[in-house]
Amino acid sequence: MFRTLLIVIFGVIITLIMVNILHQEDNYNLKLETLRHKYALKSIPSVSHSKLPALQRDFKTPQEVTEACLSCHTETHKEVMASSHWNWERASYVAGRGISSAGKNNVMNNFCLGTNSNQKSCAKCHIGYGMSSSHFDFNNARNVDCMVCHDNSDEYLKGASMAGYPDRTVNLENVAQSVGSPKKSNCGSCHSFGGGGNNVKHGDLDVALNSCSREVDVHMGVNGMNLECVACHTAENHNIIGKLYSVSSDNTNRATCEQCHTNTPHLSDVINRHGSRVSCQACHIPQYAKVNSTKMAWKWSDAGKLKDGKPYELEDSLGNHNYMSIKGSFVWARNVKPDYIWFNGTADHYILGDSIKSVPVQMNTLNGSYSDRHSKIIPVKIHVGDQIYDKVYNRLVQPKLYGETEGDSAYWKDFKWDEAVAAGMKESGLLYSGKYGFVKTEMYWPVNHMVSPKGQAVGCAECHTRNNGRLAKLSGFYLPGRDQNKTLDFVGYWMFILALIAVFGHAAIRISMDIARNKYEKQIINYDEDKPAE
């Protein structure tokens, strides 16, 4: 009886243990649920600008709208005019340069190269009116463009090549009465279109994010949390947190996943511990450019081919330009697996006037390595290309690309590099030798958006694998599953084989000797049996 009881108790315990081991369901992550609840509640504005008397009028110029804004928000222009959205540069300490001011005014890229001498066109993405040359007055508050960020009617549109002024079709009264907190479409109107088209530059900032599914971006998806950009990129006093290292240099004021998710977001301790050297983005953004293609390569050296004396364009099967006479040839890609690098949050840039130190020219250098304990592995888009440089002074040059008319020395009208570079460098205040060539360049774009749902995150074995893993190119550290001590493995393997041979050899000798001995003994027995017969 007692024995049966023991067996029953033991059986029940074993069953319970097995159920616990074999039953696998996602555990409930309270941290995530708390965040979901917090961001599910959308704030309702306390003021309807359509009811304000100051905005019930016919605005002749956008500057009049700004004045109307400032009549209530009397000090806000000071905040805006302290921002890099307005100044197009930001001072920071850069190792090797000291206090360095970097931004769109002086940092070059390997897309449309740079803003100098092209301001009239580039200023479409400046939050001001009338930036038509490098002589823009950064102290005039009337020229602050409030509407581009705060228009909630989706009507506001900056004109093409109008130095930042709105398009002539825009009804300023409507826009002024419908201002509010910035939406995805406000931020996206510039940040999705960098480089002259949708998703050209970033690869992870696509106009499709304005209305996408959770699979494209788990935060912004309309069937998910449907967050606005400013939910993460908070903007106390117009100081917007978050920046990208295409123009930024220092490790401050960054928008991070950890600001909401903490640095221990997972239930698994092993995965949380990865966070000390692996960024969240590295696993949670398995690919970028999920909806529309992004530019991966841009060869300026191919520009200038004409058909019957006229510029032309070619398209690939997805409708992306792969050749434009004014710009050269491009390579596009969609659903791109990122490259991975070590990054510690600081960067250096190729600043107009710098000498070329190495080829390919690094348009921006993201600092970091395994041995730097503040570095983490981050995913990046690497944009490669070639662009024009001065062979004598050994530096990249700034050509004048945009012009209103032919004969204005603008490359996009005249297709003459010499004249375009001479004009661009003159505007930039730098010498040009007259001898140009094309040099290869590389630019690194950290990938931060298009976060996938957790089920699609990069699996362990995509990095922890002997060959062709995602981190195959990163070195200087031991990655389990990828790395091995080759000598130890070789010696160990052969020692194991030798042990097997020795054991089987020993066994073979034993068996054969045994058989021989048995025969001998049998012979003796036979001899004994034979004896009586004699």
Partner 1 sequence: MQKVYIYKRFERFWHWVQASLIMFLALTGFEVHGAFKIFGFEKAAEFHRTASWMLIGLIIFAIFWHLTTGEWRQYIPTTKQLKEQVIYYISGIFKGEHHPTERTGLSKLNPLQRIVYLGFKLVLVPITIISGILYMLYKTFDQNNLIVIEDYPLASIAFWHTLGAILLMIFLVVHVYMTTTGKTPTSNIKAMITGYEELDDDQQKISADKITKSE
218, 221, 227, 228 alpha-carbon torsion, rounded to 10°: 120
Among 36, 73, 78, 466, binds partner 1 (CB under 8 A): 466
Which one, of 137, 99, 106, lies nearest residue 122 by Cα? 106
Scanning residues 207 to 266, which ones bind partner 1 (CB under 8 A)?
263-264
Binding span for partner 1 by CB under 8 A among 342-350, 380-388, 413-421, 503-511: 503-511
Contact between 377 and 342 under an 8 Å Cβ cutoff? The reply is yes
Binding span for partner 1 by CB under 8 A among 65-73, 103-111, 225-233, 461-469: 461-469
**Closest separation in Å from C-beta 522 to partner 1:** 14
| Residue 507 within binding range of partner 1, rule CB under 8 A | yes
Strands (E), 447-498: none
**Closest separation in Å from C-beta 470 to partner 1:** 13
What are the structure tokens assigned to 430, written together?
Answer: 């730098």
Q: Is the dihedral of CA 53, 55, 60, 66 positive or negative?
A: positive
| Residue 98 within binding range of partner 1, rule CB under 8 A | no
Q: How far is CA 6 from the centre of its chain?
A: 61
| Residue 99 within binding range of partner 1, rule CB under 8 A | no
| Residue 277 within binding range of partner 1, rule CB under 8 A | yes
Show Cβ contacts of residue 58 under 8 Å, excluding neighbours closer than 6 positions: 173
Cis before 360 (ω within 30): yes
Grouping H, G, I as helix, E, B as strand and the rest as coil, residue 348 is: strand
Exposed / middle / buried, residue 321 (Cβ in 10 Å: 0-12, 13-18, 19+): middle
Return d(Cα 360, Cα 329) in angstroms, integer: 18
* Site size with partner 1, rule: CB under 8 A: 40
Contact between 124 and 162 under an 8 Å Cβ cutoff? The reply is yes
Nearer to partner 1, 83 or 272 (CB): 272
| Residue 373 within binding range of partner 1, rule CB under 8 A | yes
The CB density around residue 31, as the number of other CB atoms within 10 Å, is: 14
Nearer to partner 1, 374 or 391 (CB): 374
Scanning residues 472 to 501, which ones bind partner 1 (CB under 8 A)?
477-478, 480-485, 488-489, 492-493, 495-496, 499-500
Nearer to partner 1, 211 or 475 (CB): 475
**Closest separation in Å from C-beta 464 to partner 1:** 5
Contact between 449 and 209 under an 8 Å Cβ cutoff? The reply is yes
| Residue 514 within binding range of partner 1, rule CB under 8 A | yes
Scanning residues 116 to 135, which ones bind partner 1 (CB under 8 A)?
none
| Residue 513 within binding range of partner 1, rule CB under 8 A | yes
Among 36, 42, 517, 522, binds partner 1 (CB under 8 A): 517
Contact between 257 and 218 under an 8 Å Cβ cutoff? The reply is no
Nearer to partner 1, 312 or 493 (CB): 493
**Sites of contact with partner 1 (CB under 8 A):** 263-264, 270, 273, 275-277, 373-374, 459-461, 464-466, 477-478, 480-485, 488-489, 492-493, 495-496, 499-500, 502-503, 506-507, 509-510, 513-514, 517
